[in-house]
Chain A
Amino acid sequence: MAREEAGVGDGSAAGAGGGDGVVARLEGVRRLHRRGASEVRALDGVDLEVRRGEWLAVTGPSGSGKSTLLHVLGLLDRPTEGRYLLEGRDTAALDDAAASRLRGRSIGFVFQDFHLLPEETALRNVMLPLLYAGARGARERAMEALRSVGLEGRVEHRPGELSGGEQQRVAIARALVKEPVLVLADEPTGNLDSATGARVLDLLAALHARGITLVVVTHEPEVAARAGRRVEVRDGRIAAATGGGGAARR
């Protein structure tokens, strides 16, 4: 099977930035899972570049490997084969602690289920990555992030006291507060009604307009349509790439 590569997109709002302008590069990435005697190829030779400031949508059917792709990009999972370079740095050389620190500093996550800590207030949830990174001024920065998503009036509320849309905005604030080089969103509107989902998408679009690099995994065509570039994952491979001048290359 030939390797597929999703080409460089130009859907960037902020341009390519420094160096070659590539934030994340996957080279021949395979991710195999063992399930008993059988082996599942969640990713099967993926080449992908994510350029600084672009909004990339990853689509594909359930079980296609798009979430695994997101996890690899987010250093939550490691390739079984191939290379993953984050800002030009080969992540294979990172031990677990270094990967955690890099993840905490450089990558923001927005999950479908929000994944907020229920015992912590909105403010403390947003402060969390800064606390783990030992960053100064965590409280002020978290307040600013919450203000940027319009939740300055809900900072002392716990997730259980917030609506789904508000919780997702807290999650976005948590992703932004670390000033990440890459924000990864896994079905960010999947648990929201359409109106709330649209507002969350508007918020993501606003962030992208400020130069944030976004990778959004989604089932929903209208979400994918907001992205500058789209790649479709099937059977662990990049099956197609559209938008931003990028195209799947065989």
Chain B
Amino acid sequence: MTAGALAGLALRSLRRRALRSALTALTAAVAVATVFATRGLLRGSEVALERDLHRLGTRTVQAVDGAGFVPGSGGARDPLGPADAAAVREGVRASGLGAEVVEARVRLGVASGPRPGGRPLPVPLVETVPAYGRTFDAEVLSGRFLEEGDLAPGAEPVCVLDAETARELGVAAAGAEVAVREAGGERRLRVAGILADPFSLRVSTFAPDLSAAARRSVHQLLVFRNLYLPRRPAAEGEPPGSLMIFAVARERGDAEALHGVLAGAVRAKERGVLVWSRGTWVRNIVETAGEQVQIANIIWAIVLLVALVMIATVTLVGVRERTAEVAVRRSEGATRRQVTLQLLLEGGMLAGAGGLLGLPLGWAAADRLSTLLTWAPFLDLREGVAAVGLGVAVGILAAALPARRAAGWEVVEGLRRGA
């Protein structure tokens, strides 16, 4: 018997039981829609997380002496200084990696904004150069980042704020004035620009997703609540702060080699200086977060199992009503195998049709749900094809037991029942 003839017989059998077929297909559709939507939302969350994390500077390797900015680093026995920055530059030059080396000095200060009666805000003061903006993928919300002109003697004193710092100080746009107080006294600075938070998932308040684990890590290590100042010679009595040295590789793949160069140049191990690659860190976070995908996998596996049981039950009941039909087919020469194949094909066809219906349903569900979330679903046609394939497999599996039973019936008994 040809496959086409068998498919024709299966199709007409399904059409005869239109309502039951429709309900079975609907079960498959719901299962496939759930798989597709769940996978799409989770994949969307992954994509958003990866995009956010990569904006934190996966090409950047940094050395810090751990003066309270990196939890667990404990602080270096011998803090980093200008000689280390020179050693790093020399090491990078000798390595031929062509990375850009950036320094930043960080100390704590207290800032006050234009908001009347606003409370002074303790804030990390990051004294650096314009190239610092390339250590992560900073987006300027208002104004600009630091420029070379800001470093020139006699230039107007300016600062750049992270979005969260600006919000807390009540600064809505570039051009406002803030006051910064530290051991050396108080200065008034014009806000040259406001930077967007590179980790947008941070602001999500409704995120039952895999970014939660990442958010904790990012909060611990990268607190984008800084106030950026142009680098200048330290004033009399001013605390030296903590020097951070960054190296930004041209290619992401160079980051590992760059890590070795930095570690060697600053003798990290002997001095207790922490050298870390943001790329490696990001990868670890993504891997940790990825474990939460398993939860989604469990959810859709359960949905598929429920669908399998439901379809199997409906098919079993349906097949029991077909004893006479099966007997007639057998009396007309159908082998047990042909009967089995037809019933499996019916299961597969129903689930396949349901699956095709489930794709737009799943897409619509994911799209609707994404309005409650902070990321867009990532709906991949290949995932859709895989979901339909899974649905078909479920349909065939569900039909297996009923088909096996039907093929095993005695023809004579079936003919008698039919009579």
A and B interact: yes
Contact with A along B8-23 (1 / 0, CB 8 A): 0100110110000000
Q: Which of B389-419 contact A (CB under 8 A)?
A: 410-412, 415, 418-419
Q: Which residue of A lies closest to B9 (CB)?
A: A131
Cβ-based interface call for A118 (8 A): yes
Q: Are A117 and B328 in contact (CB under 8 A)?
A: yes
Stretch from B71-79, B295-303, B334-342 contacting the other chain: B334-342
Q: Which residues of A contact B12 (CB under 8 A)?
A: 119-120, 124
Q: Are B1 and A112 in contact (CB under 8 A)?
A: no
Q: Which residue of B lies closest to A187 (CB)?
A: B419
The answer for the CA separation of A97 and B1 in the assembled complex, in Å, is 13
Q: Are B1 and A77 in contact (CB under 8 A)?
A: no
Q: Which residue of B lies closest to A108 (CB)?
A: B332
Q: Are B1 and A134 in contact (CB under 8 A)?
A: yes
Q: Are B331 and A131 in contact (CB under 8 A)?
A: no
The answer for the CA separation of A96 and B336 in the assembled complex, in Å, is 8
Q: Are A128 and B329 in contact (CB under 8 A)?
A: yes
Cβ-based interface call for B209 (8 A): no
User: Known contacts A115-B331, A131-B5: does B337 contact A97 (CB below 8 Å)?
Assistant: yes
Q: Are B333 and A100 in contact (CB under 8 A)?
A: yes
Q: Are A113 and B419 in contact (CB under 8 A)?
A: yes
User: Known contacts A118-B16, A119-B12: does B329 contact A134 (CB below 8 Å)?
Assistant: no
Q: Which residues of A contact B15 (CB under 8 A)?
A: 119
Cβ-based interface call for A109 (8 A): yes
Interchain nearest-CB distance for B67 vs A (Å): 81
The answer for the CA separation of A118 and B2 in the assembled complex, in Å, is 22
Q: Which residues of A contact B278 (CB under 8 A)?
A: none
Q: Which residue of B lies closest to A70 (CB)?
A: B412
Q: Which of B223-245 contact A (CB under 8 A)?
A: none
Q: Are B331 and A74 in contact (CB under 8 A)?
A: yes
Q: Which of A71-125 contact B (CB under 8 A)?
A: 71, 74, 76-77, 96-97, 100-101, 103-105, 109, 111-113, 115-120, 124
Cβ-based interface call for A174 (8 A): yes
The answer for the CA separation of A100 and B338 in the assembled complex, in Å, is 10
Q: Are A119 and B331 in contact (CB under 8 A)?
A: no
Cβ-based interface call for B325 (8 A): yes
Q: Which of B1-42 contact A (CB under 8 A)?
A: 1-2, 5, 9, 12-13, 15-16
Q: Are B331 and A76 in contact (CB under 8 A)?
A: yes
The B contact surface, by secondary structure, is helix
Cβ-based interface call for A14 (8 A): no
Q: Which residues of B contact A116 (CB under 8 A)?
A: 328
Give which listed residue, A74, A77, A112, A132, contacts B329 with CB less than 8 A. Answer: A132
Q: Are B415 and A133 in contact (CB under 8 A)?
A: no
Q: Are A100 and B325 in contact (CB under 8 A)?
A: no
Q: Are B412 and A71 in contact (CB under 8 A)?
A: yes
Interchain nearest-CB distance for A131 vs B (Å): 5
Q: Which of B90-122 contact A (CB under 8 A)?
A: none
Contact with B along A128-141 (1 / 0, CB 8 A): 11011110000000
Contact with A along B315-331 (1 / 0, CB 8 A): 00000000011011111
Interchain nearest-CB distance for B350 vs A (Å): 15
The answer for the CA separation of A112 and B331 in the assembled complex, in Å, is 14
Interchain nearest-CB distance for B283 vs A (Å): 57
The answer for the CA separation of A112 and B324 in the assembled complex, in Å, is 13
Q: Which residue of A lies closest to B13 (CB)?
A: A119
Interchain nearest-CB distance for B321 vs A (Å): 12
Spell out A's residues near B (CB within 8 Å): 71, 74, 76-77, 96-97, 100-101, 103-105, 109, 111-113, 115-120, 124, 128-129, 131-134, 174, 178
> Which 4 A/B pairs are nearest by Cβ-Cβ distance?
A104-B333, A119-B16, A132-B333, A100-B335
Q: Can you list 24 residue pairs at the A/B interface with Cβ under 8 Å?
A: A71-B411, A74-B331, A76-B330, A76-B331, A76-B412, A77-B411, A77-B412, A97-B335, A97-B337, A100-B330, A100-B335, A103-B331, A113-B418, A115-B328, A115-B415, A119-B12, A119-B13, A119-B15, A120-B12, A124-B12, A128-B329, A128-B332, A132-B338, A178-B333
Seed contacts A124-B12, A129-B332, A134-B1; 13 additional CB < 8 Å A-B pairs: A71-B412, A76-B412, A77-B410, A77-B411, A100-B334, A104-B332, A111-B419, A119-B12, A128-B329, A128-B332, A132-B333, A132-B334, A132-B335
